[in-house]
Amino acid sequence: MYLKSIMSSPIIEKQVLSQNSGSAMNFFGIGDTSKFKLPIPPLPEQQKIASFLTAVDTKIQQLTQKQALLTDYKKGVMQQLFSQQLRFQDENGQEFPAWEETQLSQLMSIPKKMQPAEIDSNKLLTVKLHLKGVLKNNNTESLTLGATNYFVRKKGQFIFGKQNLFNGAFSIIPDEFDGFLSSGDIPVLDINPGKMNPSFFLFYLSRESYYKKLESIASGSGSKRIHESTFLGILIDLPSLPEQTKIASFLTAIDDKIALVTKQLHHAQQFKKGLLQQLFV
DNA sequence: TCGTTGGACACTTGCTCTAA
DNA sequence: TTAGAGCAAGTGTCCAACGA
């Protein structure tokens, strides 16, 4: 069946759509499709397909909204938590001790530099900007291995890009990257877990308004860098370890929820894509 | 010798312009 | 209107020179 036999110009089509919602017209999107020849299912089947796709679209819309709401919620809660407007209480309903201004050098240290016996190009790390974390570097073909010194990094270490720390290039090395390598421009620091919860520290630092300010401590006239020793001189407001743990658990739970909704949204989008392909092939 | 530094480089991403 | 080309800016290191 030629589309022009059931559709006219877009303007008329719109009128027909609004007047005859039960006609064959509401099955198609807007556009000049009169030159195409397509198989047209019977009207009841068109209605079933259209209503099913509308339901999928509604679900995608709901998940998108939910994702945005959760992201905004996390941002607001973080602002309140780290400005201490919002405080947790201990198991007995008592206030936690007051936060103390502490220098990072009391909580973290520069580890001994260990060079690998050989440089494995499949074990090089890269730290992405804007809180995208640490990843395996897959772009190593152009590297002249041996020209740059690499050092062995361990899981749980804080890793950052010296030149991009203030652009959100930092993370905690996950288990799967234990023993991987990075250059001196991507250094690591050991966190003393008896004094600071690594997840808490990552959340503390991951406020854009906070890490952007760190540009002021970068040195160098060409490429501005923040050295390990300079970074360790930073003062942070530190709660007690149990409160750090509570804050970290709470924010991690929100992150998990956001990740779940993002996954559901991706699945819904993929489902719709696959469905459209199968329906209209 | 080793750490720091300035600048170079390769690649990616995003924007603008142009031609079909 | 849209696809593709060209360009600029951003990104993530790399590398050689320099100084302690």
Domain assignment present for residue A34? The answer is no
Which pLDDT score is estimated for A210? 81
Which pLDDT score is estimated for A21? 37
**Are residues A245 and A163 part of one domain?**
no
Nucleotide nearest to A219 (CA to C1'): B5
Range of the domain at A184: 100-137+149-238
- Separation of A44 CA and C9 C1' (Å): 54
Q: Is the CB of A143 under 7 A from strand C?
A: yes
**Are residues A168 and A71 part of one domain?**
no
Which pLDDT score is estimated for A138? 60
Instruction: Give the residue among A110, A113, A114, A137 at the shortest CA–CA distance from A124.
Output: A137
Distance CA A12, CA A24 (A): 14
Q: Is the CB of A33 under 7 A from strand C?
A: no
**Are residues A182 and A250 part of one domain?**
no
Instruction: Give the residue among A240, A160, A155 at the shortest CA–CA distance from A200.
Output: A240
Domain assignment present for residue A27? The answer is no
**Are residues A224 and A108 part of one domain?**
yes
How many domains is chain A partitioned into structurally?
A: 2
Which pLDDT score is estimated for A15? 32
Q: Is the CB of A161 under 7 A from strand C?
A: yes
Which pLDDT score is estimated for A9? 37
Per residue of chain A (281 residues), give pLDDT as tens.
Answer: 544 454 443 332 333 333 333 333 344 443 444 444 556 777 887 788 778 878 888 888 888 788 878 888 888 899 899 999 999 988 888 899 999 999 888 888 877 777 776 667 677 777 777 777 777 766 555 555 555 667 778 888 888 888 777 777 788 888 888 878 777 777 888 888 999 999 999 889 888 778 877 777 776 655 667 777 778 878 899 999 999 999 999 999 998 898 888 778 877 777 777 777 776 65
- Separation of A199 CA and C12 C1' (Å): 25
| Beta strand extents in chain A (DSSP E only) | 100-103, 108-109, 125-127, 134-136, 150-152, 158-160, 170-172, 181-183, 188-191, 235-238
**Are residues A47 and A60 part of one domain?**
yes
**Are residues A84 and A57 part of one domain?**
yes
**Are residues A272 and A181 part of one domain?**
no
**Are residues A85 and A105 part of one domain?**
no
- Separation of A36 CA and C2 C1' (Å): 20
Nucleotide nearest to A124 (CA to C1'): C13
Distance CA A158, CA A154 (A): 9
Which pLDDT score is estimated for A8? 43
**Are residues A107 and A191 part of one domain?**
yes
Bridge partners of residue A108, in order along the sequence: A191
Instruction: Give the residue among A240, A211, A201 at the shortest CA–CA distance from A104.
Output: A201
Domain assignment present for residue A95? The answer is no
Domain assignment present for residue A35? The answer is no
